[in-house]
Structure 1
Amino acid sequence: MKDFVIIGHKALTTGDFSLNDLPGSAGRMDILCRCINSALFLSHGMRRDINVHLVLLGEPDPGKIIRFNGEELRYLNPDERSSGSLIKKALEKDATDFETRSTPGVWIRRGGLEKLIKEFSENKRKMYYLREDGEDVRAVTDLEDDAVFVLGDHMGVTEEEEDIINNDNSETLSIGPLSLHSDHCITIILNELDRFEQPKKD
């Protein structure tokens, strides 16, 4: 499985928001919804080898993680309102330290970035933090097919969060010299992985 971690600094942490106003009523939840769709959808299908972890840090109850698992996911359509609806249903559940399933393929629990990174590190998972000044992704010859990619939202990533991300299992990776939207970064990364995994023709 490939894992994408998206930090939502303002994303609302209760289900009390309008699906008709995801940017305003839900703390830019629209960004996270676009990331879900970019990570999971193909033109005529879905990527089943993907986990998307949304780290929700907004008010009124910060510190929740929602996980979308492509292998088991159901009821998701390729639009922001659909993914927003699944997030909303997850947030209506009581979040504990252990995952609770809200709908098929969607789980919620308490926790933040530090908890996730620690779990990935303990499992020896290779982590890539996406930033403009990192190593060019096209220069990487050993991009692992079960890697973890960490991205910020419209607010980027704080210095404190960078300190959490940077460890023995992590590298800083660049997909280009310009700052791009998080969902666009995911699309590019997956395209690079698709090309990297495709058998080369003689």
Structure 2
Amino acid sequence: MKDFVIIGHKALTSGDFSLNDLPGSAGRMDILCRCINSALFLSHEMRRDINVHLVLLGEPDPGKVIRFNGQELKYLNPDERSSGSLIKKALQKDALEYESRSTPGVWIRRAGLEQLLEEFAEKGKTVYYLREDGEDIREIAPSLDNSVFVLGDHMGVTEEEEAIIGKFASKTLTIGPISLHSDHCITIILNELDRVEQ
């Protein structure tokens, strides 16, 4: 399995938002929805070897992780409203210290970035941080299976978060010299991996 971690700094942590206004009422939840779609959808199929972990840090109750698992996922269509609806349903459940399923393939729990990355390290997964000044992903793409890729949202990554990521990341990778949207980064990463795996 490949894992993508996306940090949502303003993403609402309650289900009290409108699916008609994901950028405004939900704290730029639209960015996270696009990341879900980029990670999971192919033209006429879904990637089954992907987990997407949304680290939600917005009001009113920050510190929740929603996981989308491609292997078990159902009821997801390739539009932001569909993924937003599954996030909304997950946030209507109580977030506990352990994962609880809201819909097939979607789980929620109470956790933060450091706990999540520590768990990956304990499982022996390799964590990579995406930033423009990192090592070219094409140089190491053949060894990236079973990896974790950490990305920020429209606000980037804070210094504190960068320090946390630095404790667990084996390398900082770049997909090019220009700053791109997180969902575009995911598409390019998966394309590089697809080219190696074919």
**Per-residue deviation, 1:166:** 1.2
Equivalent residue letter for 2:188: I
Distance 1:21 1:180 in 2: 23
Q: Would the aligned equivalents of 1:2 and 1:146 in 2 still touch at CA under 8 Å?
A: yes
Partner SS, residue 25 of structure 1:
coil
Distance 1:138 1:83, change over 3 A: same
Residue aligning to 1:47:
47
Alpha-carbon distance in 2 for matches of 1:55, 1:121: 17
Structure 2 equivalent of residue 23 of structure 1: 23
Query: How big is each residue's C-alpha offset from its partner over 1:165-185, in whole Å with a ceiling of 9 and x where there is no partner?
Result: 113652100000000000000
Match of 1:78 in 2: 78
Describe the superposition over 1:5-40 as per-residue Cα deviations: whole angstroms up to 9, x where unpaired. 000000000000000000000000000000000000
Contact 1:13 1:58 in 2 (8 A): yes
Name 1:177's counterpart in structure 2.
Answer: 177
Q: What letter matches 1:87 in structure 2?
A: I
Counterpart in the other structure of 1:56: 56
Deviation at 1:196, TM superposition (A): 1.2
Q: Does 1:189 align with 2:189?
A: yes
AA matched with 1:49: D
Amino acid across the alignment from 1:21? D
Q: Which runs of 5+ in 1 are unaligned?
A: none
Q: Percent of aligned positions with the same letter in both sequences?
A: 81
User: TM-score if structure 2 supplies the norm length?
Assistant: 0.98
Q: Offset of 1:144 from its aligned partner? A: 2.3
Length-normalised TM-score, structure 1: 0.96
> Hey, what does 1:166 align to over in structure 2?
166
Matches within 5 A, 1:142-161: 142-161=142-161
Taking a change above 3 Å as real, the CA distance of residues 168 and 75 of structure 1, as seen in their structure-2 partners, is closer
In structure 2, the partner of 1:108 is 108
Deviation at 1:2, TM superposition (A): 0.3
**Equivalences for residues 88-127 of structure 1 within 5 A:** 88-127=88-127
Whole-angstrom CA distance in 2 between matches of 1:83 and 1:99: 19
Greater Cα offset, 64-73 or 163-172:
163-172
1:107 to 1:141, Cα distance in 2 relative to 1, 3 A:
closer
Is the 8 Å Cα contact of residues 72 and 104 (structure 1) preserved in structure 2?
A: yes
Aligned to 1:13: 13
Extract unaligned runs of 5+ from structure 2: none
